[in-house]
């Protein structure tokens, strides 16, 4: 689209205009308090940065609201020296930019390929939003008087301490790391702070790298906050235009937000792809209001963050024990020889076979993590000699959800898996093993998460965790040390029995 500045306003102009990125300054229109704005448009644009095609209103209505000071236009691409910078995803890498002949501006138009899956941002693309000081009303909550949190559960002593710190950080707009062991009940410690923030008219977002976590959290939070507007956002979500007091979103969907949230909570901050994608870090920064709270949740912070916590350089609170007050299972290291060479001969290590057979015979569910899919496929028929019900699962498995469900129901005695099940799943009574724990992908973080699958249930708080290896790695040692240190801290704070 081509624009021109006429009478101190940015207006569409096909003939005399230019792509918006080439206009030096976009005029800021004074707010017209007498203008009768469309409330539905406000709900869609408030705290967002959308493309015209994402807004279910005509260009004329959007332009009318801009000319009365309610809608804002920002450049989709800007230039920094000779480089383009995408204002939506922060991309500055020239290899992620391309050009095409654009029918909207009728020119050769550069665009960003990094965030193309969210719609094309090009030189002639405005990012459309709602003016900050044009906000009218509260955060989308209709009944101010009603009690917000309706939850009959109780918190452990460790959770109570963390919940107080989280609430304070949210209300005082601080940054806080919540370092909580797997199974500590991280979601529940957020309830108190969410209630206080929303009661104060603030907007809260819980962001997570994975869609399945959004789908799990949304019904849980809707159940305990029945009088709060809640939107669940992920690829294909039907709630993408819902203006909500509480938003549960994948980190990718945050690319559509701009200065929206008073509190942004990032769950599983160490998980892929957030941990390796700077675009998603940029999205988180953009989605926060300039004066806002930032809460990070993880069981496995990176080493630099762990060091900052130890040195008092990062505000944090730890929950070193699970709610059921039993210590974390500590991994045992079991040498199994050159298992890969044995596999080439169609055999499994004796120690591994014995471990699996013991669980199958006892009817004790078990997970066994394998480094690669092709190795797992070779192992499956060998394991099935012990029990025909043994299954395998990986990210591309079309029956993944069904197999996880059957595992929960106790219909699968042993499930071979890749790291796809290292986090985000809970089985009530299982033992856990890693075959080939020396493999490079089994990092400290991955191994701690894997160990965290065992002993999660209050009914079955104990579990065996075994790392089968052909040589102990530093990552294995670090993982065990972290688990032992958490148990030691929990004992010191009287959080375990």
Whether residues 367 and 277 share a domain: the answer is: no
Q: Is residue 276 very low, low, confident or very high in pLDDT (cuts 50, 70, 90)?
A: confident
Among the ranges given (29-33, 261-265, 477-481), the one the predictor scored with the smallest mean pLDDT = 29-33
Structure tokens at 313: 């350089």
Whether residues 211 and 284 share a domain: the answer is: yes
Residue 325 lies in a domain: no
pLDDT for position 139: 61
Residue 327 lies in a domain: no
Q: What's the total number of domains in the chain?
A: 3
Structure tokens at 197: 């923030």
Q: What b/e sequence results for 383-398 when a residue is b if at least 16 CB atoms lie within 10 Å of its CB, and e otherwise? A: beebeeebbbbbeebe
Whether residues 131 and 158 share a domain: the answer is: no
pLDDT for position 146: 59
Whether residues 266 and 340 share a domain: the answer is: no
Its domain, for residue 29, covers 3-136
Whether residues 117 and 74 share a domain: the answer is: yes
Domain end marker among 73, 104, 136: 136
Q: Is the pTM of this model over 0.75?
A: yes
Whether residues 46 and 178 share a domain: the answer is: no
Structure tokens at 141: 């909550």
Domain end marker among 77, 106, 136: 136
pLDDT digits (tens, 9 = 90+) for 419-478: 999 987 889 899 999 999 999 999 999 999 999 999 998 899 999 999 999 999 999 999
* Number of Cα atoms under 13 Å in the Cβ half of residue 426: 13
C-alpha 79/C-alpha 24 separation (Å) is 11
pLDDT value at 356 more than 80: yes
Domain end marker among 136, 161, 185: 136
Residue 13 lies in a domain: yes
pLDDT digits (tens, 9 = 90+) for 182-199: 999 999 999 999 999 999
Which residue in the block uniquely carries the two structure tokens 């206080």? 196
Helix (H, G, I), strand (E, B), or coil: what is residue 257?
A: strand
CATH number at residue 338: 3.40.50.300
Residue 52 lies in a domain: yes
Whether residues 476 and 461 share a domain: the answer is: yes
Axis-axis angle for helices 157-171, 186-199 (nearest 10): 30
Residue 324 lies in a domain: no
- Evaluate whether 407 touches 365 at the Cβ level (below 8 Å): yes
Mark residue 455 as left, alpha or beta (left: phi above 0; alpha: psi -120 to 50; beta: remaining).
left
Query: For the chain, what is the total number of helices (H) and then of strands (E)?
Result: 13, 22
Residue 392 lies in a domain: yes
| CA Rg value for the chain | 26
Whether residues 53 and 95 share a domain: the answer is: yes
Whether residues 159 and 301 share a domain: the answer is: yes
Whether residues 126 and 193 share a domain: the answer is: no
pLDDT digits (tens, 9 = 90+) for 86-95: 999 999 999 9
Whether residues 147 and 207 share a domain: the answer is: yes
Residue 497 lies in a domain: no
Structure tokens at 472: 């102990």
Whether residues 399 and 472 share a domain: the answer is: yes
Mean pLDDT of the residues in the chain? 94
pLDDT value at 144 more than 60: no
CA 254 to the chain's CA centroid: 10
């Amino acid at each position: 689209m081509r624009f021109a500045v006429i009478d101190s306003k940015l207006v569409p102009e096909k003939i005399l205009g230019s792509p918006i990125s080439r206009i030096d300054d976009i005029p800021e229109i004074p707010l017209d308090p007498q203008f009768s704005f469309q409330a539905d448009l406000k709900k869609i644009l408030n705290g967002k940065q959308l493309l015209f095609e994402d807004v279910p209103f005509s260009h004329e209505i959007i332009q009318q609201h801009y000319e009365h000071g309610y809608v804002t236009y920002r450049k989709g691409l800007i230039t920094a020296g000779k480089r383009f910078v995408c204002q939506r995803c922060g991309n500055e890498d020239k290899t992620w930019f391309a050009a095409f002949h654009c029918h909207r501006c009728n020119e050769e138009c550069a665009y960003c390929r990094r965030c193309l899956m969210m719609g094309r941002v090009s030189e002639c693309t405005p990012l459309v939003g709602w003016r900050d000081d044009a906000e009218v009303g509260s955060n989308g909550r209709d009944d101010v008087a009603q009690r917000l949190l309706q939850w009959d559960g109780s918190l452990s002593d460790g959770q109570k301490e963390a919940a107080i710190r989280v609430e304070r950080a949210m209300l005082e707009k601080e940054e806080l790391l919540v370092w909580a062991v797997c199974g500590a009940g991280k979601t529940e410690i957020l309830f108190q702070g969410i209630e206080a923030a929303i009661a104060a008219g603030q907007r809260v977002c819980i962001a997570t790298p994975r869609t399945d976590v959004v789908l799990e959290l949304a019904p849980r939070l809707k159940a305990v906050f029945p009088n709060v507007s809640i939107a669940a956002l992920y690829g294909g979500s039907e709630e993408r235009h819902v203006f909500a007091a509480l938003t549960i979103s994948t980190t990718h969907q945050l690319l559509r937000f701009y200065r929206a949230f008073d509190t942004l909570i990032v769950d599983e901050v160490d998980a892929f792809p957030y941990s390796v994608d700077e675009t998603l870090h940029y999205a988180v920064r953009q989605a926060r209001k300039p004066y806002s709270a930032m809460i990070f949740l993880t069981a496995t912070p990176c080493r630099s963050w762990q060091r900052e916590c130890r040195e008092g350089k990062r505000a944090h609170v730890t929950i070193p024990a699970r709610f059921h007050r039993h210590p974390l299972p500590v991994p045992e290291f079991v040498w199994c020889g050159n298992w890969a060479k044995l596999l080439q001969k169609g055999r499994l290590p004796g120690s591994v076979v014995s471990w699996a057979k013991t669980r199958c015979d006892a009817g004790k569910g078990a997970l066994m993590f394998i480094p690669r899919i092709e190795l797992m496929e070779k192992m499956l028929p060998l394991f099935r000699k012990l029990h025909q019900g043994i299954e395998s699962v990986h990210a591309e498995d079309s029956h993944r959800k069904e197999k996880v469900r059957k595992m929960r129901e106790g219909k699968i005695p042993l499930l071979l898996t890749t790291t796809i099940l290292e986090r985000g799943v809970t089985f009530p009574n299982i033992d856990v093993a890693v075959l080939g724990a020396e493999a490079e992908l089994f990092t400290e973080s991955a191994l701690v998460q894997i160990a965290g699958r065992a002993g999660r249930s209050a009914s079955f708080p104990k579990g065996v965790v075994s790392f089968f290896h052909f040589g102990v790695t530093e990552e294995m040692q670090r993982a065990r040390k972290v688990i032992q240190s958490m148990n030691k801290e929990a004992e010191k704070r009287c959080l375990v029995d």
